[in-house]
């Protein structure tokens, strides 16, 4: 992320478990806002386990304009160099989304939300966040895809 931040052009991030729909990239292309986000279902989708039902500031489906990155060229390197969670290493990916969110809000930005939301297929507690019972894939303790063997 640090290498891509401000490397030229806009930056679109789509995490591996996000299901896009057909207007995502065209909305990103057309919208003039500097920081655009498609929300998606979080761990509490469908009322399960009291988690956040909708993630609106995460990095799963986001576009940063080149102008934003040029205005704050050190932002990603700075947030990647923070040690703010016991047990996690400096710059750990599990805190990157909230650090980026906080750093951009501190600079006076607000995520520009786009709809319809996209869909996340992330396994929390043995159940996919999408709420359907499609083929479960093997995951590690953090819910990351972990092929067996």
Q: With CB under 5 A, what is the number of residues at the site for Zn ion? A: 7
For residue 128, the cross-strand partners are: 123
Report, in Å, the least distance between residue 83 CB and Zn ion. 32
List the interface residues with Zn ion, window 41-60 (CB under 5 A).
none
Report the residue from 2, 13, 15, 33 that binds Zn ion according to the rule CB under 5 A: 33
Between 82 and 113, name the residue whose CB sits nearer to Zn ion: 113
d(CA 137, CA 77): 33
Stretch near Zn ion under the rule CB under 5 A, chosen from 71-79, 85-93, 98-106, 110-118: 110-118
Sheet strands (E) in the chain:
11-14, 18-19, 35-37, 40-41, 54-55, 61-64, 112-113, 119-120, 123-124, 127-128
Task: Give the interface with Zn ion as residue ranges (CB under 5 A).
Answer: 31, 33, 36, 112, 121, 128, 130
């Amino acid at each position: 992320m640090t290498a891509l931040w401000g490397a030229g052009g806009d930056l679109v991030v789509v995490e591996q478990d996000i299901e896009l729909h057909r207007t995502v990239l065209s909305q990103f292309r057309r919208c003039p806002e500097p920081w655009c986000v498609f929300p998606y279902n979080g761990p509490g989708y469908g009322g399960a386990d009291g988690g956040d039902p909708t993630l609106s500031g995460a990095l799963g489906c986001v576009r940063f304009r080149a102008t934003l990155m040029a205005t704050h060229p050190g932002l990603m390197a700075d947030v990647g160099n923070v040690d703010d969670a016991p047990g996690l290493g400096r710059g750990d990916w599990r805190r990157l989304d909230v650090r980026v969110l906080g750093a951009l809000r501190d600079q006076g930005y607000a995520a520009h939300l786009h709809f319809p939301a996209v869909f996340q297929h992330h396994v929390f507690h043995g159940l996919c966040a999408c709420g359907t019972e499609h083929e479960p894939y093997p995951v590690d303790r953090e819910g990351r895809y972990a092929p067996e063997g």
